[in-house]
């Protein structure tokens, strides 16, 4: 999907300072994660657009979860990380899918497709500065050029799930009651 527009391409510029700021800020977010989840569960204002992504860990095979802002651009959904390949990004790419909670109208499971440099990725990066909740949107706005240089973003595409019911339990052995 190509997002049309007349916006100029972003001029990427990696910044050591922004790399450090993002690492520190995401560590802080991990510390307050339980409070954010409580805020979302109680449907308090200011957390619209934040969803939980679930996927399988590439090393452990266990389910992993992360809170993330679901970005909407041109009718499509996108997720990403402003500071490059975080562990959840590598896990999602390795598994090839994520479950979105709460699920969208197409269901909970989506394929993840990394965006190459270009107009679609630039439009998504610009959307982060608008769609992130306050005060994160201020960081994204200030760091647009750094994000354009190192950020990793993915388009989510619905994966058709089998509508048939789950298989029934095996029939009891003959003579068993």
The pLDDT of residue 174 is 43
- Per residue in 45-93, pLDDT tens? 556 678 889 999 999 999 998 888 899 999 999 999 998 888 899 999 9
Which CATH number applies to 16-158? 2.30.110.10
> If you average pLDDT over every residue of the chain, what do you get?
81
- Per residue in 89-146, pLDDT tens? 999 999 999 999 877 677 789 999 999 999 999 999 999 989 988 888 899 999 999 9
Structure tokens at 28: 């802080």
108, 100 Cβ separation under 8 angstroms: yes
The pLDDT of residue 47 is 62
| Three-class DSSP labels, the chain | CCCCCCCCCCCCCCCHHHHHHHHHHHHHHHHHHHHHHHHHHCCCCCCCCEEEEEEECCCCCCEEEEEEECEEECCEEEEEECCCCCHHHHHHHHHCEEEEEEEECCEEEEEEEECCCCHHHHHHHHHHHHHCCCCHHHHHHHCHHHHHHHCEEEEEEECCCCCCCCCCCCCCCCCCC
Long-range contact list for 16-19, CB < 8 A, 24+ apart? 18/83, 18/143, 18/146, 19/83, 19/146, 19/150
Structure tokens at 74: 């041109």
pTM above 0.85, yes or no: no
More confident residue, 11 or 3: 11
103, 39 Cβ separation under 8 angstroms: no
Closest to 133 (Cα-Cα) out of 44, 73, 66: 44
pLDDT bracket for residue 165 (50, 70, 90): very low
Roughly how many angstroms between the first and final C-alpha of the chain, as a whole number? 57
Q: Domain-by-domain residue ranges, the chain?
A: 16-158
């Amino acid at each position: 999907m190509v997002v049309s527009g007349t916006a100029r391409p972003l001029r990427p510029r990696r910044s050591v300072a922004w790399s450090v700021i993002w690492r520190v800020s995401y560590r802080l977010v991990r510390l307050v994660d339980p409070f954010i989840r409580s805020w979302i569960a109680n449907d308090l204002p200011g957390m619209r657009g934040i969803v939980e992504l679930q996927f399988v860990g590439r090393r452990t095979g266990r389910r992993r979860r992360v809170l993330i802002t679901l970005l909407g651009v041109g009718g499509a959904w996108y997720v990403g990380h402003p500071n490059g390949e975080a562990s959840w990004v590598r896990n999602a790419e390795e598994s090839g899918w994520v479950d979105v909670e709460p699920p969208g109208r197409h269901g909970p499971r989506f394929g993840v497709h990394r965006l190459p440099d270009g107009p679609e990725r630039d439009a998504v990066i610009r959307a982060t500065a608008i769609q992130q909740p306050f005060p994160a949107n201020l960081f994204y706005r200030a760091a647009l050029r750094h994000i354009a240089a190192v950020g990793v973003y993915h388009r989510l595409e619905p994966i058709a799930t089998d509508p048939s019911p789950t298989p029934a339990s095996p029939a009891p052995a003959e003579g068993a009651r």
